Structure 1
Amino acid sequence: MASNISVSPPVHRLQPGEQLDRSAFSLKVPVVGLRIPAARTTDITRSSEFKRQLLKLPKVKTVLQENGDEEFRVILLDYSTQDAMPQDLVELAQTNNYDIVQHGIDLEYDYWTANEILRSSLPEDLLEDMPTAFTITGHLAHYNLRDEYLPYKHLIGQVTLDKNKALRTVVNKTDNIDTTFRFFKMETIAGESDTVVEVNESGCRFKFDFAKVYWNSRLGTEHERLVSLFSSGDLIADVFAGVGPFAIPAARKNCLVLANDLNPSSTEYLSRNSIDNKVEDRVRVTTMDGRAFIKHAVQEAIDHPFENILPLQSSSQRAKQARLKLPPPDPLPVQRTIKHFVMNLPATALEFLDAFRPAFRSATNQELYNTNGMPTIHCHCFTRELEKENAEVDILKRAEEALGMSIANPSFHYVRRVAPNKDMYCLSFVLPRTIMQ
């Protein structure tokens, strides 16, 4: 239920570059209270007559001890003055010999939300589309401010930092995403210039430099969805692995992973994250072009398979094994064929499908795939077709052109809208056996 008392911070429009003065947002709010016996506080505040009349301002206590008096309390009502109180409420207070007292509530900068502070600080012509959305990655918040808000970037950053206590750094994107390594230039607009963050996702811990690698906190659900399709013992090839959001959880699931990225900063942190998550024996990291990696991965699996890799066990499984003196579990099966290729580079991944024909044609022991089956390709991509049916037609056409052959039984998963006129999908299909011909 809304309060009868409407409050907002004092308006204090700042000029571009002007420092935030937190004291300018102090406000004293007049409210009416009833002075009641302390012993009856609970009964009165829960009674039907008074409960609905209590002050409804968020984050403000409704029961106060006045001047250290132990015998009495003041309960605050949802009215600014006695004149604003309903007559029956006044009469009820008088009948019970409760003094009606005037009280003032001091609301300081900390009381107001970030949006309220910005709405009181930014120029009026910038309030309609005021920036409110940002992404959080570890201790860092990331904005993508439009040009008209750049003169106020430090104000926006400082307020964001003040109102989100877990944050230490606020950055703003200053350029388009790097087409090679997928990270973007940024500047610190508030807090520490520390872009090395730690993130928990899918039960794994990731550490990386947000300024040097690609990471999208909005893709956590997609990471989990794809990993859920993998089975223990599967051999996975992650073509554009980044710092490991697919590779590390897959390895924790007892998959064997060939993980690659062209960005050396990404593979540096991918290797560290493999160690930190205790899966370094089942994740092989390479730093090469995606097309070269696809060819490398096919032959690497055949020539140098993972061997003698014991499955990871939970603490309860290890305790049971020790208690019952059970032998260690059998190693994971040796896999010489790749079960899944992950291609999470939505801007251009479809173009890399042209690498599969030469990779499989040149592979030795092709008969292994005749026995074990062809791999499933999971290719993330963008489309500007916003209707699902049209999007699927567009994606399939581009995929088949790059692959150089028809794709049977494709599966399309809508991931998210990345811009008003651009959607992200994941195309999944089993690689045709004729690719080897």
Structure 2
Amino acid sequence: MLRDTTKFITFRLLDKRRFAMSRNLHHKSHLDTSPPEYNGPLHPLDKSIFRKAIPILAARVPASQTAKVLNSELTRSFLVGIPKVRPVVSNPADLQGDRLVLLRISNQAELPPEPLEFLQKHANGFVDYELELDYDYWTASDILQAVLPEPLRAGAPVGFATTGHVAHMNLNDEYLPYKKTIGQIFLDKNKLIKTVVNKLDNIDTQFRVFDMEVLAGEHNFVVEHHESDCRFTFDFSQVYWNSRLHTEHGRIVGLLKPGQVLADSFAGVGPFAIPAAKNKSCAVLANDLNPSSFKYLSKNVEDNGVSDLVRVSCEDGREFIRNAFQRVFDTPFPPYTGPKLSKTLARKLEKQGKRVAETKASDSLPPRKTIDHFIMNLPDTAIQFLDAFRGAITSREMMDAYESKMPLVHCHCFTRELEEDKAAADIKERVEEKLGHELKEYSVAHVRSVAPNKEMYCIAFRLPSEVVYG
């Protein structure tokens, strides 16, 4: 008896293995969903050429049985399984009747006995079905592989950086003859993108902006970009913005303590200054030499409701650094009384009389007369501005105010050194040379790789009092 049972179990196991092998064999067979060969015009593309009809088999399944068929181990691996294609559709021949469950095979002979028997039990037969794919089905990469010449397909662009509604690309020379086509494809395939541009040259040394060529879409560069719960509006063609730096923006703001005073020497449109004020209630001096940056920085300060915390200027970075200490000392910021409240909550507390009590309590707190942090986010030349700190504090009163807490400077820079210890040594040496003094308290953080032999870092150091006191 034991022998018979063992034999029965062995046969059952063999049957399951054969079925599994058969199922895997069929599972590996796949439908050719690649786009058709394209020989039409490049610009504009003839999208009608991108059509493909794939003959498959469909099971006519009553609506009450579709879930059972879809979830069965016997049939699951034979479902159509194509991205963006639903496995169950209405029967065009009988819209009120059976559903069609689409299979990845073209005839019944490709079904093993057990799945076939299961479908014969739960379905009302099979029908031939044509799966129709068009231009909208394929991804941008799929279309590019069909459109570009064979030698260019392997290195074809696969993505872009986005700023608001603008997609920014940096095409290699060999793809420039196809730039309009590439731009149009990416525009078609990304519904949130309205403009696709290509960078034309290196970043301008003064205002860090670059010329752009519109490849597809609207000639509109005024974008609205959201980061760190803040809303930024700016003309992408006239100011510097790098979406890849959002992590660095957050890192620096995360180092600030609520209520501190920040001086942002190269503020741009406010990626450090505005989150510092809005999220940390920091008081900020925000400066940028670019008139367009100053224009949009002022707008963003107002739009984000931090006009009482951020003072905006448009002047040379060296002049800004030299004057910042005196400005805050002569015109201090009001005392820090706690996190910034929304207008709705502030009005509610005012009605309850609590705001009046807070105001009276703040009268006993000292105003904010000293700077806690300097941010110098101009990596190409920021180190060259460090000599502006020499002798920046001239009065005995200011010396006394800063006696126990010199500002922390966060200076972004580039280096050609690829090893972190050598990069740190290189940056420290250049900073000390410009300051004219040794650094005793500092740290160096890697920000990102800019090019194969170019790394971006941020050195944070406590400003030596001997430098600022002259």
TM over 0.5: yes
How high is the TM-score relative to the length of structure 1? 0.94
* In 2, Cα distance between equivalents of 1:84 and 1:323: 76
User: 1:396 is aligned with what amino acid?
Assistant: K
* In 2, Cα distance between equivalents of 1:324 and 1:60: 58
* In 2, Cα distance between equivalents of 1:219 and 1:298: 28
SS in structure 2 at match of 1:110? coil
1:304 maps to which residue?
331
Q: CA deviation at 1:318?
A: 3.2
Note if 1:377 corresponds to 2:402. Answer: no
2:322 maps to which residue?
295
> Quick check: 177-186 or 379-388, which moved more?
379-388
SS in structure 1 at match of 2:74? helix
Query: Equivalent of 2:59, from 21, 34, 37?
Result: 34
Paired residues of 2:288 and 2:294 also in contact (CA < 8 A) = yes
Paired residues of 1:3 and 1:56 also in contact (CA < 8 A) = no
User: 1:325 is aligned with what amino acid?
Assistant: G
* In 1, Cα distance between equivalents of 2:183 and 2:132: 26
Any residues of structure 2 matched to 1:180-199 within 5 Å, and which? 180-199=206-225
Any residues of structure 2 matched to 1:239-318 within 5 Å, and which? 239-252=265-278, 253-307=280-334, 312-314=340-342, 317-318=345-346
SS in structure 2 at match of 1:292? helix
User: 2:216 is aligned with what amino acid?
Assistant: A
- The unaligned stretches of length 5 or more in structure 2 are 1-26
CA RMSD of aligned residues (A): 2.2
Paired residues of 1:233 and 1:333 also in contact (CA < 8 A) = no
Q: CA deviation at 1:68?
A: 2.8
* In 1, Cα distance between equivalents of 2:315 and 2:118: 80
1:99 maps to which residue?
125
> Quick check: 261-270 or 303-312, which moved more?
303-312
How high is the TM-score relative to the length of structure 2? 0.87
Distance 1:188 1:366, change over 3 A: same
> Quick check: 335-344 or 43-52, which moved more?
43-52
Any residues of structure 2 matched to 1:130-149 within 5 Å, and which? 130-149=156-175
> Quick check: 116-125 or 305-314, which moved more?
305-314
Query: Equivalent of 1:234, from 260, 264, 275?
Result: 260
Note if 1:57 corresponds to 2:82. Answer: yes
Distance 1:370 1:263, change over 3 A: closer
* In 2, Cα distance between equivalents of 1:93 and 1:277: 61
* In 2, Cα distance between equivalents of 1:431 and 1:2: 65
Paired residues of 1:298 and 1:363 also in contact (CA < 8 A) = no
User: 1:61 is aligned with what amino acid?
Assistant: R
Q: CA deviation at 1:232?
A: 2.4
Paired residues of 2:40 and 2:46 also in contact (CA < 8 A) = no
2:397 maps to which residue?
365
Query: Equivalent of 2:424, from 380, 392, 398?
Result: 392
1:428 maps to which residue?
460
User: 2:377 is aligned with what amino acid?
Assistant: N
CA deviations 1:77-131 (Å, max 9, x no partner) are 1223334333543344446564222111111111111100111111111111111
SS in structure 2 at match of 1:237? strand
Q: CA deviation at 1:175?
A: 1.1
* In 2, Cα distance between equivalents of 1:229 and 1:97: 64
Q: CA deviation at 1:365?
A: 2.9
Q: CA deviation at 1:157?
A: 0.8
Note if 1:204 corresponds to 2:230. Answer: yes
Paired residues of 1:14 and 1:123 also in contact (CA < 8 A) = no
1:171 maps to which residue?
197
Q: CA deviation at 1:380?
A: 0.7
CA deviations 1:303-324 (Å, max 9, x no partner) are 2222478762146853762574
Q: CA deviation at 1:47?
A: 2.2
Q: CA deviation at 1:394?
A: 1.0
Note if 1:409 corresponds to 2:441. Answer: yes
Q: CA deviation at 1:18?
A: 3.1
> Quick check: 73-82 or 83-92, which moved more?
83-92
- The unaligned stretches of length 5 or more in structure 1 are none
Q: CA deviation at 1:295?
A: 0.4
User: 1:160 is aligned with what amino acid?
Assistant: F
1:23 maps to which residue?
48
Q: CA deviation at 1:139?
A: 0.7
2:10 maps to which residue?
none
Query: Equivalent of 2:246, from 202, 216, 220?
Result: 220
Q: Pick the structure with greater CA Rg.
A: 2
How many residues are paired up? 435
User: 1:111 is aligned with what amino acid?
Assistant: Y
Note if 1:11 corresponds to 2:37. Answer: yes
> Quick check: 328-337 or 189-198, which moved more?
328-337
User: 2:341 is aligned with what amino acid?
Assistant: Q
SS in structure 1 at match of 2:208? coil
User: 2:168 is aligned with what amino acid?
Assistant: H
* In 2, Cα distance between equivalents of 1:243 and 1:100: 63
